């Protein structure tokens, strides 16, 4: 058996301080350029105005968003509206770049990139070294499944319920490595899904060749929440009888769980976690992350050169090497929409102020109200389980005699923004977020009732 490949020591980076870089760029107009102009310095300073440790009520939370008040927004998970703290941070960074882009980047890249990583690590309950910054869930899936060290004859086990981006990323890996992919169904009908059945279906499908299990925490096609922690415990039992070089890794697409569920990654117990932060986290559009445990990092090699902020600091080569964590090496380099990436810190901070348990309770309460309301309507077929144990922030359903697209159209005529599931088998979908209200749910139930 081939031994696990260990991540090599990072190559040395030539450190260039700001004076040298500006000089080499032909942009050194004098020593005064090495200090930020007073106006730009004011822009660069983080917001230190006092803020409450918690928001007083959910109406106050609603006012953080500039949502169209003429509509009831029930598809916010698709692409988040930016709340006030995020909007203000994006604008602050944008003004800094617009005033003096090169110096704003050089003076802030390291500290603001690290601040975003630290905020994510604190929220997820993990070490900062294992966090890589991405632009989306799809980018994260591509990074991880392209990077993982699989051998011919080894197997990836995934499910029939996962997203196209997972399937295609795994297919591309299999074409290169010679590994195989198998899909297993965790349930026949979403509304009948149970944690026990899903765990059994997945674990019973494991073979001696299985090296990686790739699942999605919350299925956007049915609203089913997969019992990741239970699967993790079961996989650990399987791994007890395996050599270290053949142990199974559990990878999770967590985009519809992060910002909804209160479990930390330690609670979930997965080896790899991939998610965009521009959905339920209300992070800036075009932001995401990957986390891998130390065990998983040994099998994940960078594929895109990083552009670490430390190369623009005055650190020595040795200091740069010490700071070049696995996560920094995995983060794709190049120029990004930095005003968005760095403002993700405020999204995590907002959720911390709200409190994970409060957010989870609120989202589950509102979506339970939807499910309970529709379950009593004879013309409605629900496809999302009623139990909070196996559902999260979505309710997928059908209306007798009406296509999902028509349902969405009819609701929109009543100023309700819903969506359809983007799969071969499609349903109508409602999804309540922390800015929705009980009164809005009552209005929606009346509108759905009138569709019969």
The residue whose two tokens read 């339970």 is: 368
* pLDDT (average), residues 427-438: 98
Domain that holds residue 439: 356-450
Tell me, yes or no, whether 440 and 418 share the same domain. yes
Tell me, yes or no, whether 332 and 365 share the same domain. no
Count of domains forming the chain: 2
CATH number of the domain within which 374 lies: 3.90.1150.10
The residue whose two tokens read 């050599």 is: 243
* pLDDT (average), residues 141-151: 93
Tell me, yes or no, whether 319 and 238 share the same domain. yes
The predicted pLDDT at position 441 comes to 98
Task: Select from 321, 354, 387 the last residue of a domain.
Answer: 354
Residue 207 lies in a domain: yes
**pLDDT tens-digit map of 260-269:** 999 999 999 9
Residue 46 lies in a domain: no
Residue 35 lies in a domain: no
Integer distance in angstroms from the first to the last C-alpha of the chain?
61
Tell me, yes or no, whether 180 and 218 share the same domain. yes
Determine contact, residues 417/75, Cβ cutoff 8 Å: yes
Tell me, yes or no, whether 350 and 372 share the same domain. no
**pLDDT tens-digit map of 16-52:** 343 443 333 333 323 322 333 333 333 344 443 334 4
pLDDT grade, residue 55 (50/70/90)?
A: low
Q: DSSP per residue over 165-207, as a string?
A: HHHHHHHHHHHHH--EEEEE-S-SSGGG--HHHHHHHHHHT--
**pLDDT tens-digit map of 90-132:** 999 999 999 999 999 989 988 899 999 999 999 999 999 999 9
Residue 380 lies in a domain: yes
Residue 58 lies in a domain: no
Tell me, yes or no, whether 220 and 329 share the same domain. yes
pLDDT grade, residue 305 (50/70/90)?
A: confident
Tell me, yes or no, whether 381 and 306 share the same domain. no
Tell me, yes or no, whether 340 and 207 share the same domain. yes
The predicted pLDDT at position 110 comes to 86
Task: Select from 328, 354, 380 the last residue of a domain.
Answer: 354
Residue 243 lies in a domain: yes
**pLDDT tens-digit map of 324-383:** 889 989 999 989 999 999 999 999 999 999 999 999 999 999 999 999 999 999 999 999
Q: What is each CA distance from 387 to 201, 357, 442, 443, in whole angstroms?
A: 19, 17, 20, 23
Tell me, yes or no, whether 330 and 413 share the same domain. no
**Closest to 331 in 3D by CA, of 382, 291, 368:** 291
Tell me, yes or no, whether 363 and 270 share the same domain. no
Residue 323 lies in a domain: yes
Tell me, yes or no, whether 284 and 415 share the same domain. no
252 φ, ψ to 5°? -130, 125
CATH number of the domain within which 133 lies: 3.40.640.10
Is the model's pTM score more than 0.75?
yes
**Closest to 96 in 3D by CA, of 345, 313, 341, 339:** 339
Which range (116-125, 167-176, 267-276) has the least confidence?
167-176
């Amino acid at each position: 058996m081939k031994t696990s490949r260990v991540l090599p020591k990072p190559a040395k980076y030539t450190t260039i301080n700001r004076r040298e870089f500006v000089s080499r760029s032909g942009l050194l107009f004098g020593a005064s350029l090495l200090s930020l102009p007073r106006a730009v310095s004011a822009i660069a300073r983080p917001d230190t105005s006092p803020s409450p440790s918690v928001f007083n009520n959910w109406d106050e939370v609603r006012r953080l968003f500039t949502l169209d008040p003429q509509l009831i927004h029930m598809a916010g998970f698709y692409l988040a509206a930016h709340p006030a703290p995020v909007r203000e941070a994006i604008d602050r960074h944008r003004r800094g770049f617009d005033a003096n882009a090169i110096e704003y980047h050089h003076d802030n890249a390291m500290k603001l990139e690290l601040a975003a990583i630290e905020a994510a690590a604190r929220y997820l309950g993990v070490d900062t070294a294992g966090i890589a910054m991405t632009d989306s869930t799809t980018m994260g899936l591509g990074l991880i499944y392209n990077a993982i060290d699989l051998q011919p004859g080894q197997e990836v086990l995934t499910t029939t319920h996962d997203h196209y981006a997972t399937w295609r990323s795994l297919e591309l890996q299999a074409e290169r490595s010679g590994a195989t992919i198998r899909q297993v169904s965790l349930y026949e009908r979403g509304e009948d899904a149970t944690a026990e059945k899903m765990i059994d279906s997945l674990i019973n499908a494991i073979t001696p060749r299985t090296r990686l299990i790739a699942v999605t925490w919350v299925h956007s096609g049915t609203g089913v929440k997969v019992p990741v922690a239970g699967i993790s415990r079961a996989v650990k039992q399987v791994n007890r009888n395996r050599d270290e070089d053949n142990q199974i890794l559990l990878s999770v697409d967590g985009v519809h769980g992060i910002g909804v569920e209160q479990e930390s990654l330690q609670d979930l117990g997965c080896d790899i976690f991939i998610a965009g932060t521009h959905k339920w986290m209300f992070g800036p559009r075009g932001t995401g992350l990957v986390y891998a445990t130390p065990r998983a990092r040994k099998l994940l090699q960078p594929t895109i050169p990083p552009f670490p902020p430390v190369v623009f600091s005055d650190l020595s080569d040795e200091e740069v090497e010490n700071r070049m964590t696995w996560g920094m090496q995995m983060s794709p380099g190049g120029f990004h929409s930095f005003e968005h990436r760095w403002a993700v810190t405020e999204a995590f901070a907002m959720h911390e102020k709200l409190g994970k348990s409060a957010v989870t309770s609120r989202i589950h309460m509102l979506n339970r109200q939807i499910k309970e309301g529709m379950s009593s309507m004879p013309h409605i077929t629900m496809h999302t389980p009623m139990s909070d144990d196996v559902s999260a922030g979505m309710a997928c359903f059908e209306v007798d005699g009406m296509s999902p697209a028509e349902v969405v159209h009819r609701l929109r005529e009543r100023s309700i923004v819903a969506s359809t599931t983007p799969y071969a088998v499609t349903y109508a979908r409602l999804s309540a977020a922390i800015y929705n209200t009980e009164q809005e749910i009552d209005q929606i139930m009346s509108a759905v009732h009138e569709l019969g």
